[in-house]
A and B are shown apart, each in its own frame.
Chain A
Amino acid sequence: MNKYLITLVFILTIVFGGCRHLPCRDCVFVRKTTLEIDKVPFSDTASVLYKVSIKLYSMYFSGILAVKKIEKDHFRMSLISETGFKLFDMEVINGIAEMKNVFAELDRPSVKKTFREDLAIMVQSGIRKRDCNGYVYENSDDFLFECSVTEELSQNFLIDQKSGILKKTWIAEDINETVFDINYGYDESGSMTPAFITIVHYNVQLRMEFSLIKEENVSK
């Protein structure tokens, strides 16, 4: 009897163990671990300007985003139109964002919430040592941290193991239910100020693109 029971438990372990929830395709669970990112975007940024384009459903906005790192985990930002008109001010401290001077057209709770969450995550404010699951990919050198945010949602961090650079972060329910993702692209200077950033939402039609404006072209 015991022999049969042990065999059953063994089979069930294999079946359910094999069905372990995976946040990625072609990846393998390695270990429970603490979030560690060697090279965080904006870690060496003082102040920076981005050309911004935002597509929300059929609407299209563009402008300039000014980002200033006050200190670690503390950022100030302003989004202005090309003509200089302020669309909003934002301050992010330890991952918590507050908006002020919001232009009437954007002054809606859902829109403000989206900007607050996206931009706070974009500058990687308030990344603390979280408990995560670590995964490696079968076909690349990337390492994935899957860190629980709520019971349903996790925030994932994709890191190039060779350079230690964070390439992408995304919030997801599971592998097929990404809420939104943020992709970072860097130039060859070695700076940790991203040259390109893309934020794409999948539950609403929202796409934001940021491209770095070189300082010599702007401040005189």
Chain B
Amino acid sequence: MKIRITVFIVIILFAATLFGNEVKNNAQVSHKELDKSVEINRLGKDIVEKAKSVRTIKSDFKQEKVLSFLSKKIVSGGKFIFEKKDSVNKVKWEYTVPFKYTIVIDGSRIFMKDSNRVTSFEMSSSRVFEEINRIMVGSLNGTILNDSENFFINIEKKGRELNVFMTPRDKSEMSKYFKTIEMILDKNDLTVSRLSMIEVSGDRTDLFFTGKKINGTIDPSEFKVE
């Protein structure tokens, strides 16, 4: 009888120890997750705050399109210009490689110049185009990090960079096209140096921004398309 009681006590103590360790481990994990969540929030706020001070961006860019069935990437590139004035965003993508092509977004209107042909339309006429523009501009000026309604957002520190992962929520329109959108920001100025859009099919578009000039003067003629 004495032995039975001893064995019972040992089992109880052992179980209690295990349970105690489990609780302790869970508490540590929760604590870590909480820390991480707090840090993500803090980093997100830093990026958004920094973005608020960005009035203009001028940069070179290189675009690489990866298609699963092609062994080589489709490379294009040119000049990118962004200006925020009186809460109106103006964006210019001026491709010079492999051929000349310019797209200007002036508030709600889009202008495209291809060879000598200029076309324009209201962005609202294409909901998806509107969304893509919102992602691209929002990524570059950081405002997309406020969009927790449409994206799960995670931020990781990696050396001198911050990696931001945005996964479209199932209900969002973007979930039909993109598996995830990744941004790499420079820790020093918190501006985007790489933007990757990974499609549901696995194909991807990588945009690399180099020679960035923040808050420089932009000539108004840059946004004129003729």
Q: Which of A64, A70, A85 contacts B74 (CB 8 A)?
A: A64
Chain B residues with CB under 8 Å of A197's CB are none
Q: Are B74 and A219 closer than 8 Å at their CB atoms? A: yes
Q: Give A62 to B114 CA distance when docked, in angstroms.
A: 8
Cβ of B117 under 8 Å from chain A: yes
Which residues of B (171-212) have their CB < 8 Å from a CB of A?
176-177, 197, 199-201, 203, 205, 207
Chain A residues with CB under 8 Å of B98's CB are 49, 51, 213-214, 217-218
Minimum CB distance partner of B126 in chain A: A105
Q: How far is the CB of A81 from chain B (nearest CB, A)?
A: 9
Chain B residues with CB under 8 Å of A103's CB are 128, 177
Q: Give A82 to B96 CA distance when docked, in angstroms.
A: 11
Minimum CB distance partner of A218 in chain B: B98
Interface string of A102-143 (1 = CB under 8 A from B): 011100000000000000000000000000000000000000
Cβ of A47 under 8 Å from chain B: yes
Minimum CB distance partner of B73 in chain A: A219
Cβ of B3 under 8 Å from chain A: no
Q: Which of A68, A84, A100 contacts B63 (CB 8 A)?
A: A84
Chain A residues with CB under 8 Å of B128's CB are 103-105
Q: How far is the CB of A106 from chain B (nearest CB, A)?
A: 10
Q: Give A86 to B132 CA distance when docked, in angstroms.
A: 11
Q: Are B114 and A217 closer than 8 Å at their CB atoms? A: no
Cβ of B89 under 8 Å from chain A: no
Q: Give A104 to B197 CA distance when docked, in angstroms.
A: 18
Interface string of A51-62 (1 = CB under 8 A from B): 101000000101
Cβ of B224 under 8 Å from chain A: no
Cβ of A203 under 8 Å from chain B: no
Q: Give A220 to B77 CA distance when docked, in angstroms.
A: 12
Q: Give A214 to B75 CA distance when docked, in angstroms.
A: 12
Most chain A beta-carbon neighbours within 10 Å: one of B98, B112, B201, B203:
B98
Which residues of B (83-101) have their CB < 8 Å from a CB of A?
93, 95, 97-99, 101
Q: Give A150 to B176 CA distance when docked, in angstroms.
A: 38
Cβ of A201 under 8 Å from chain B: no
Q: Which of A60, A80, A83 contacts B119 (CB 8 A)?
A: A60
Q: Are A49 and B103 closer than 8 Å at their CB atoms? A: no
In this complex, how many residues of chain A approach chain B with their Cβ under 8 Å: the count is 30
Interface string of B65-83 (1 = CB under 8 A from A): 1010111111110000000
Q: Give A68 to B65 CA distance when docked, in angstroms.
A: 15
Cβ of B127 under 8 Å from chain A: yes
Q: How far is the CB of A65 from chain B (nearest CB, A)?
A: 11
Minimum CB distance partner of B78 in chain A: A82
Asked if A66 meets B70 with Cβ closer than 8 Å, knowing A84-B63, A84-B197, the reply is yes
Most chain B beta-carbon neighbours within 10 Å: one of A60, A80, A82:
A82
Interface string of A179-220 (1 = CB under 8 A from B): 000000000000000000000000000000000011001111
Q: Which of B93, B127, B201 contacts A100 (CB 8 A)?
A: B201
Q: Which of A51, A68, A105 contacts B69 (CB 8 A)?
A: A68
Interface string of B23-66 (1 = CB under 8 A from A): 00000000000000000000000000000000000000001010
21 contacts between A and B (CB under 8 A): A47-B71, A51-B98, A51-B99, A62-B112, A62-B114, A66-B74, A76-B69, A78-B203, A80-B65, A83-B103, A84-B197, A85-B177, A86-B177, A89-B201, A101-B177, A101-B199, A104-B128, A213-B98, A217-B98, A219-B72, A219-B74
Q: Hey, which bits of chain B sit against chain A, CB under 8 A?
A: 63, 65, 67, 69-76, 93, 95, 97-99, 101, 103, 112, 114, 117, 119, 126-129, 132, 136, 176-177, 197, 199-201, 203, 205, 207
The 3 closest A-B pairs by CB, nearest first: A219-B72, A84-B205, A217-B98
